Amino acid sequence: MVKPGDVITLTTGRDIVVVTVVDLAERRGSAREAQALYQSVPLDA
pLDDT tens-digit readout, 4-39: 999 999 999 999 999 999 999 999 999 999 999 999
CA distance 26 to 14: 32
Is pTM beyond 0.85 here?
no
Which residues contact residue 2 at a Cβ distance below 8 angstroms, ignoring those fewer than 6 apart? Answer: 8, 21, 24
Q: How confident is the model at residue 45 (pLDDT cuts 50, 70, 90)?
A: low
Sign of CA dihedral 33, 27, 17, 20: positive
Amino acid identity of residue 42, one-letter, is: P
Distances in Å between the Cα of 18 and the Cα atoms of 1, 11, 12, 14, 26 are 17, 9, 11, 13, 23
